[in-house]
Amino acid sequence: MTAVLVTLVGGILGLTGFGGPVAHADGVVDTITVTIEPSASSITLGDSLGLRVSVTNNGGNPSPPLVVHLDITDPDQSTTVDPEDWTTTLNKPVGVVAAGETVTVDWHVQPISGGAFATYAVALSPGIDDAAASNVSQVAVADQRSLNPGGILLVAIGTPASVGALLLLQIRLARRTT
């Protein structure tokens, strides 16, 4: 009787999928490859840069649901980098990546200071203890010095000059009437 009960329970568990192998049992580090492009770029402060992150599942099973996180750092530690100042979205969901498939995610970042920076991406999944990291994309940001950033020079000089001219005109008119 016990053998029949064990066989029956085992058969039910096998039919429902409980107790069977997990579809995404492979570790993220072992099966997922993350790449970021371009590997190196040079831009001027004020310009934006497009980054493309590719997540490839090299394993034989679908991946767990993945999220890709973008990070930016200054390897020289000459500036403090807050990645949220460069882009409004640091995390992008990728979802399940089928075996042998590649999913791409695009970012547009806009640096807020000049210098040499390193950007990289990490693919991770909630509840899994490892993460797959990408290569490093080197970003050189040249400072842009301008006497007229955004066309503000005319306003910055013209407004006080206009107010001063009106004040002088009012003073002259007041002297004539007295």
Buried b (16+ CB within 10 A) or exposed e, 135-172: ebbebebeeeeeeeeeeeeeeeeeeeeeeeeeeeeeee
pLDDT score of 26: 58
Domains belonging to the chain, first-starting first, are: 24-158 (2.60.40.10)
pLDDT score of 156: 79
**How many C-beta atoms surround the C-beta of residue 9 within 10 A?**
11
Six-digit token string for 147: 């006497």
Nearest to 53 by CA among 117, 116, 123: 123
Q: Model-level pTM greater than 0.85?
A: no
DSSP 76: T
Which residues lie below 8 Å from residue 134, measured CB to CB, with a gap of 6+? 34, 35, 36, 53, 120, 121, 122
pLDDT in tens, the chain (178 residues): 444 333 333 443 333 333 333 344 457 888 999 999 999 999 998 899 999 999 999 999 999 999 999 999 998 887 778 888 899 899 999 999 999 999 999 999 999 888 999 999 999 998 888 899 999 999 999 987 666 666 777 777 888 889 988 888 888 888 887 6
Q: DSSP string spanning 134-146?
A: -PPEEEEEE----
Q: What is the C-alpha to C-alpha distance for residues 86 and 83, in angstroms, rounded to an integer? A: 5
Q: What is the C-alpha to C-alpha distance for residues 93 and 58, in angstroms, rounded to an integer? A: 19
Q: Which amino acid is at 92?
A: K
